[in-house]
Amino acid sequence: MSLRVFSTLALTLAAGAALAATVPLPPATPTGSTVDVIQGVKIADPYRWLENWNDPKVQAWSDAQNARTRAYLDSLPDRAPIKEQLTQLIKATSPSYAELKARGARVFAIYNDPKFQQPMLVTMNASADPKSRAPLLDPNALDAKGLTAIDWFVPSGDGTKIAVSLSENGSEDGTVHVYDVVSGKEIDTPIPRVQYPTAGGSLAWAADGKGFWYTRYPGPEAPEAEQHFNTQVYFHRLGSDAAKDTLALGASDGLERVSEVFLDNRFNLPSVMAMVQRGDGNIWAFYVLKEGEAPVQIGTYTDDAVYATIGPDGAVYGISRKNASNGKIVKLAPPFAKGALAGAKVIVPEANVAILSGGAEQQTADLSFSKDRLFVRDIVGGPNQVRVFDLSGKAEGKLPLPQISANSEIEPLSSGDVLFDISTYLRPRYYADWHPATGKAEETALKVTSPVSFADAEVTRVFATSKDGTKVPVNVIMRKGTKLDGNNPALLYGYGGYGISQTPSFLGAFRRVWLDGGGIYAVANTRGGAEYGERWHQQGMLTKKQNVFDDFSAAGEYLVSRKYTSHQRLSLMGGSNGGLLMGAEITQHPKLARAVISAVGIYDMIRVELDPNGSFNVTEFGTVKNPDQFKALYAYSPYHHVVKGTPCPAVLMLTGATDGRVNPLHSRKFAAALQATTSSDNPILLRTNKTSGHGIGSSLDERIAEQTDELSFLFDQLGMHYPTASPHSSPAEASAP
């Protein structure tokens, strides 16, 4: 059934106002008199008391906020049909595969069956035929509530053993378990504290498969405030006491309090690469590790190399930005000497497109290889391309990717073929098999079929002009034939940080429901990402962070000026660093949009570095200890720019009590400040989930519940009605890109 469209904007808004549910008053929130003096500036913090989660008064206040939020959301008339449709679409989607790793005679993968709460670990045969799938580790069998999740996994070089980090309640606080692949039985004593949101976690097997290098955080012997810092690398022999493991890379070798270490030995060689990032700022050093020998630091933070690994021929391959902001590929032959990476040979010069880097934190590889080829992933304003070279740097063309698509995995098979994944906005992710002899690729059975079809939708790429004249890409997805008369509800999404780019990915059930309700969906490629390389990132970090907020508001104004929507029908959405973006838009441009959804956001930029993960973020945001950086932080910190009497948009803030990436205190303090000062009748809502964290590892039921709340909130605030029967709810093959 098509959506009923009102003839005038006034009628639409009147209907929306009439439908809006009654929102109870927020709980009483006392203010304190705390004032800090930083860089000579007095800074009031009236809600400092809300920082202490161990205080029963804070938990009672949070429970009252939750009760208020639930009273509103649960009463919305469209909530039940939206939840029913989301659940149907998501659970009717076929299982998917991800994180393929070919080792020995097997291919390991994460298998996500929407019939279950959590993805599981499976094996397939050497050709990755899904018909050969066999279960290896199922978190759903370990925890019926779906609160145990796989953080990451690493198979041994011969594929006979596998190490898996498991965590609970979305905490990402991981313990590594080792399993025999054939029997599925655990074969070693679990090792705790190998993974945490501050610096992540990693592991690499020794070539003989009898031991591994792994990251470990300090134990109970360290002060509580330091237990999520000072990651070290240890070497463990199977069957031995982990408490007696050998320190392989530590503070004496140059590791710092905020070092993040990523280990790689994908080709099962005697030497292992340790990539060390200084906080989250994409500043890297590199060490080669070998059992029984001292580590060799081949690259320092000042070399401007952003990635390095050991290839199939035993040489080091790296991405360098030394005098090359778009990146170039360098190669270093063994033996490896201290500082040698700075003088490595350039085999792929800088091009007019940017080489992607930064995937180590997502457990993906920036450079991929087959036994005799190198694959270099580029980003071109958002979409990807993949160039192919031989191991000397000779160009051999590109992988055949569709236009406006993205790639994140490239995995060589024992046959010599190469599997690679493809993502587009309008089709679910799938894998293709590339044949080096012909340069051609064909789709495999590793693909998703979905009841969600976007055959009725189109993707348009437009450009907004930011405050300083910069052209900012905006990807607009809407149903074909949508009339641009300013009456359409629109949802604009943004992130803008850490060099993380908004690349094409399947829009899925959430956006299908949004389009069925008559909405337009848009994604802004703001600065702070790496859509145009590291320069795009650097123009949106540290003292230039304001550019991100200007880019995003310009994208919103563009949608309004071109009649895609209006200010009263525009909504905004972002999470984490994107939550900071939402906070800045609420305080800097309160009239830009009618409604804002902000998840797990950062709002107090003056105190964020006092949190464990906040210390790691200093390289991205800056520190109040630096006068210029403090000035920039204070100038945009959302919590400190809430002005009494400002008519705020409707706001739904979501957070998780176990979040180790962004402290939930930010959401509590910002929600309290907005509730106390807004002059509008629009609701300011806070939703805290006690059994989830940053969203990583959340159960399927929680993800559906969260999306239901978000869509119900937007439908109510924008005066939308969900059709009683969706024309896109019956299972069908995924639409072509």
Per-residue pLDDT tens for 543-579? 999 999 999 999 999 999 999 999 999 999 999 999 9
> Residue 387: which residues within 8 A CB-CB, separation 6 or more?
348, 375, 376, 378, 395, 397, 398
- pLDDT, one tens digit per residue, over 182-233 is 999 999 999 999 999 999 999 999 999 999 999 999 988 888 889 999 999 9
Contact 596, 581 (CB under 8 A): no
**What percentage of the chain reaches a pLDDT higher than 90?**
84
Helix (H) / strand (E) element for 138: namely: none
Distance of CA 630 to the CA centre of its chain: 27
CA distances from 251 to 71, 232, 247, 266, 528 (A): 51, 8, 10, 26, 31
Cβ atoms within 10 Å, residue 602: 29
Would you state the pLDDT for residue 691? 78
Mean pLDDT lowest among 213-227, 332-346, 713-727:
713-727
Of the candidates 158, 149, 79, the residue with the CA atom closest to the CA atom of residue 116: 149
Would you state the pLDDT for residue 735? 34
Strands (E), 128-229: 134-137, 148-155, 161-168, 174-180, 191-195, 203-205, 211-216
The conformational region for residue 193 under phi > 0 = left, psi -120 to 50 = alpha, else beta, is left
Matching residue, tokens 């008064």: 57
Of the candidates 695, 698, 737, 728, the residue with the CA atom closest to the CA atom of residue 92: 728
Cβ atoms within 10 Å, residue 212: 25
Contact 686, 676 (CB under 8 A): no
Contact 168, 148 (CB under 8 A): yes
- pLDDT band at residue 694 using 50, 70 and 90 as cut-offs: confident
Largest CA distance in the chain: 76
Cβ atoms within 10 Å, residue 368: 23
What is residue 661's three-state secondary structure? coil
- pLDDT band at residue 103 using 50, 70 and 90 as cut-offs: very high
Amino acid at 564: Y
Of the candidates 3, 702, 616, the residue with the CA atom closest to the CA atom of residue 281: 616
Domains of the chain: 9-43+56-88+452-717 (3.40.50.1820), 95-249 (2.130.10.120), 370-448 (no CATH)
- pLDDT band at residue 6 using 50, 70 and 90 as cut-offs: very low
CA 217, 221, 226 angle in degrees (round to 5)? Answer: 50
Would you state the pLDDT for residue 88? 94
What is residue 290's three-state secondary structure? strand
Q: Which residues pair with 120 in a beta bridge?
A: 111
Would you state the pLDDT for residue 17? 35
- pLDDT band at residue 347 using 50, 70 and 90 as cut-offs: very high
Would you state the pLDDT for residue 725? 57
Would you state the pLDDT for residue 382? 86
Torsion of CA 72, 73, 77, 82, to 10 degrees: 170
Q: Is the pLDDT of residue 413 over 60?
A: yes
- pLDDT band at residue 281 using 50, 70 and 90 as cut-offs: confident
Would you state the pLDDT for residue 14? 30
Q: What is the pTM of this model?
A: 0.90
Would you state the pLDDT for residue 363? 58
Mean pLDDT lowest among 225-239, 355-369, 412-426, 495-509:
355-369
- pLDDT band at residue 2 using 50, 70 and 90 as cut-offs: very low
- pLDDT, one tens digit per residue, over 142-168 is 998 899 999 999 999 999 999 999 999
d(CA 43, CA 640): 8
- pLDDT band at residue 698 using 50, 70 and 90 as cut-offs: confident
d(CA 335, CA 290): 12
- pLDDT, one tens digit per residue, over 598-612 is 999 999 999 999 988
d(CA 470, CA 526): 10
- pLDDT band at residue 21 using 50, 70 and 90 as cut-offs: low
- pLDDT band at residue 651 using 50, 70 and 90 as cut-offs: very high
Which letter, b or e, does each residue of 519-555 get, where b requires 16 or more Cβ atoms within 10 Å of its Cβ? bbbbbbbbbbbbbbbbebbbbbbbbebbbbbbbbbbb
Return the higher-pLDDT residue of 486 and 730: 486
Mean pLDDT lowest among 163-177, 237-251, 686-700:
686-700
- pLDDT band at residue 4 using 50, 70 and 90 as cut-offs: very low
CA distances from 472 to 172, 301, 621, 629, 729 (A): 34, 31, 21, 25, 34
d(CA 647, CA 553): 17
Q: Is the pLDDT of residue 19 over 70?
A: no
Q: Is the pLDDT of residue 20 over 90?
A: no
Matching residue, tokens 């070998």: 290
d(CA 116, CA 110): 13
Average pLDDT over every residue of 449-467: 95
Average pLDDT, whole number, for the chain? 92
Helix (H) / strand (E) element for 23: namely: none
Matching residue, tokens 């402290």: 663
Mean pLDDT lowest among 16-20, 27-31, 409-413, 510-514:
16-20
Helix (H) / strand (E) element for 42: namely: strand 41-44
Helix (H) / strand (E) element for 367: namely: strand 367-369
